[in-house]
Structure 1
């Protein structure tokens, strides 16, 4: 999916597991939203109406699970952390579907996947993409120039709204302040930059942070790991998946 591509509301007759290779995906499921980066996956139950939006250029794999066969999965959608074990399990299932293993073999692996999804930590990254056109104008500009340091007063003048209106809209759409929403956006955008060879310091400066330590602190608070650890794990994962797809 290219950046800003929208796969509008639809449903699948089978359960779906989505896990990305590159980029960032936002899924809207009912009144819930989930951002799915490299170290997360999203489980969507069968016949659940959902919409997907590519925040950046995104490549992902989708696994479909028959709800009427082998294993009974949960009825609620879930965005969760992909542990190294879950990652290897997903890779194994994806590889095995190409060689047509026995049903009993697949059934046991799918039971393990079901149990792992059930016990995995939920991954609640704040919603990024707004619906209000004034916030969307800010969102589009910050995606292109995340280091912009305009104060709320300046943004209000640019988009033709009062500071009070923008503050109210951020609380309504994201349940957080404008500054926290902007920081979340910068941090999520940095996931894409971490797939390059650029230094942590360069990435921090491009995002508008005064130092790499400030960026590392904010990143760890949101993602529960350092940028360096995320980079090493996601790159290793990406290399495995690209090798598997060849």
Structure 2
């Protein structure tokens, strides 16, 4: 059942929940909901367009979308996410602006508790308390924004698709020109126009964001570096630290809530 149909069916509830799976490249085109929405990817990566803004949402982050806000999302990779729809007419006042933020261990537990509210048979009072804490945690959480990856130009999109499927490709900009039918100058201009950055930086950003999913596996840092096409783990660590302001190992501990071998 579609989300808005569920909202109409349970119009007097403080929230409803829905688990959604989107295959890679699936587009959930422009739409809106009469209730606020929280999007929390369990796995994968989404790029969402919210009116005039675009945000990337990896699986360690969440997105809050106010009620009646037009938005669309595309799955960068196979993505499974939890959606919570919040009744704006209930006793809790929510923010009027969209926000993307890191999912702290507390926010994650709150989302999972609310998502499982039917099976654990929580009272409405308990749910209201949980929603209030979640609202407050989202308010104080630091905004989390990473550069956009998905281009609109078909030539850049061809490159993006190949790099997404095989991030260790080592083609130079000149080599890419023969594969997509555009000059080096054109590809550089397109990157500057769409992402306000160079081609090489855009390619590195793709690798960095894709590495987030790999960090949630038992792969070592060395193995992840090789998977992404880096010649050494130190090169990957340096790039990751420049992008996320922390090392991959620190990210595993702080953002994913567990420690894996490095």
TM-score (normalised: structure 2)? 0.84
Runs of 4+ residues deviating >6 angstroms:
none
Task: Say if 1:195 and 1:234, in contact at 8 Å, map to a contact too.
Answer: no
Task: Say if 1:43 and 1:78, in contact at 8 Å, map to a contact too.
Answer: yes
- Deviation of 1:227 after TM superposition, in Å, equals 2.2
Task: Say if 2:28 and 2:73, in contact at 8 Å, map to a contact too.
Answer: yes
How do 1:93-104 and structure 2 match up within 5 A?
93-104=114-125
How do 1:12-161 and structure 2 match up within 5 A?
12-161=33-182
- Deviation of 1:163 after TM superposition, in Å, equals 1.5
Count of matched residue positions in the alignment of Structure 1 and Structure 2 = 237
Residues 152-177 of structure 1, C-alpha deviations (whole Å, 9 max, x = no match):
22212321112121111111111111
Query: Secondary structure of the residue that 1:19 maps to in structure 2?
Result: strand
Select 1:165's aligned residue among 186, 200, 207: 186
Greater RCO, CA 8 A, separation 6+: 1
CA distance in 2, matches of 1:173, 1:32: 13
> Which 5+ residue runs of structure 2 have no aligned equivalent?
1-21
Residues 215-238 of structure 1, C-alpha deviations (whole Å, 9 max, x = no match):
12222332343323444567668x
TM-score (normalised: structure 1)? 0.89
Residues 201-225 of structure 1, C-alpha deviations (whole Å, 9 max, x = no match):
1110121112111212222332343
> Which 5+ residue runs of structure 1 have no aligned equivalent?
238-246
Task: Say if 1:205 and 1:211, in contact at 8 Å, map to a contact too.
Answer: yes
Name 2:200's counterpart in structure 1.
179
CA distance in 2, matches of 1:158, 1:102: 59
Select 2:225's aligned residue among 193, 204, 209: 204
Distance 1:235 1:77, change over 3 A: closer
Which range moved further: 109-118 or 176-185? 109-118
CA distance in 1, matches of 2:176, 2:136: 46
Name 1:240's counterpart in structure 2.
none
